[in-house]
Amino acid sequence: MKPVLRDVTLRDGLQLTGKLLPTEFKIRLARRLLRLGVPELEIGSMARPDLVPPMANTLDVVAGLTPEELEKCWIWVATPRHVEKAIAAGARNFQYCFSASDAHNQANIGRTTEQSLAVMPDAIALAKEAGGRIQLCIATAFTCPFEGPVAPARVLEIANDGRAAGADDVVICDTLGQAYPGQVAELVSRVATETPKRRIVFHGHDTWGQGVANSLAAAAAGAAVVDGALGGLGGCPFAPGASGNTSSEDLLFATRPDWLDPTAFADLVGLSEEVLREVDEPNRSKAAQGARSKANAFEWVISETREPSGSEVQ
Please give the pLDDT value at position 33.
Answer: 98
Per the CB < 8 A criterion, the answer to whether 39 and 7 are in contact is no
Nearest to 253 by CA among 194, 299, 191, 188: 299
Question: What angle, 0 to 180 degrees and rounded to 10, lies between the N-to-C axes of helices 23-36 and 262-279?
Answer: 160
Per-residue pLDDT averaged across 179-194, rounded?
98
- For strand 4-7 and strand 225-228, is the pairing parallel, antiparallel, or unpaired? parallel
% of the chain exceeding 70 in pLDDT: 94
Mean pLDDT of the chain: 94
**pLDDT for position 192:** 98
Range 282-308 average pLDDT: 88
Quick one: pLDDT at residue 234? 86
pLDDT tens per residue across span 106-120 = 998 999 999 999 999
Model confidence at 311, in pLDDT bands (50, 70, 90)? low
- Segment 38-52 mean pLDDT: 95
The pLDDT value given to residue 239: 59
The per-residue pLDDT for range 158-177, each reduced to its tens digit, is: 999 999 999 999 999 999 99
Q: Contact 205/211 with Cβ under 8 angstroms?
A: yes
By the 10 Å C-beta count (0-12 exposed, 13-18 middle, 19+ buried), 85 is classed as: middle
Residue 131 has pLDDT above 70, yes or no: yes
Residue 64's beta-bridge partner residues?
Answer: none
Question: Running DSSP on this structure, what letter comes out for residue 2?
Answer: P
Band (pLDDT 50/70/90 cuts) for residue 86 is: very high
The structure's pTM equals 0.95
| pLDDT tens-place string over residues 195-253 | 999 999 999 999 999 999 999 999 999 999 999 999 999 876 655 556 689 999 999 99
Query: How far is 253 from 226, CA to CA, in rounded Å?
Result: 13
Q: What is the pLDDT of residue 16?
A: 86
pLDDT exceeds cutoff 80 at 14: yes
Q: What's the burial of 166, exposed, middle or buried (CB within 10 Å: 0-12/13-18/19+)?
A: middle
Helix H segments across the chain? 23-36, 58-64, 67-70, 80-89, 102-108, 113-118, 120-129, 152-159, 181-194, 211-221, 248-255, 262-279, 286-291
Q: Provide the pLDDT for residue 309.
A: 61
Give the integer Cα–Cα distance in Å for 310 and 258.
Answer: 21
**Rounded Cα distance, 140 and 176, in Å:** 7
Give the pLDDT confidence score for residue 242 in this predicted structure: 62
Percentage of the chain beyond pLDDT 90 is 89
178: pLDDT strictly greater than 90: yes
CATH topology of domain 4-261: TIM Barrel (3.20.20)
Contact 283, 292 (CB under 8 A): no
φ and ψ at residue 110, rounded to 5 degrees: 85, 25
Residues annotated catalytic, as ranges: 236
Phi, psi of 299 (to 5 degrees): -65, -20
Torsion over CA of 20, 26, 30 and 31, rounded to 10 degrees? -170
**pLDDT of residue 37 exceeding 90:** yes
Distance CA 75, CA 54 (A): 14
Average pLDDT over residues 279-285: 94
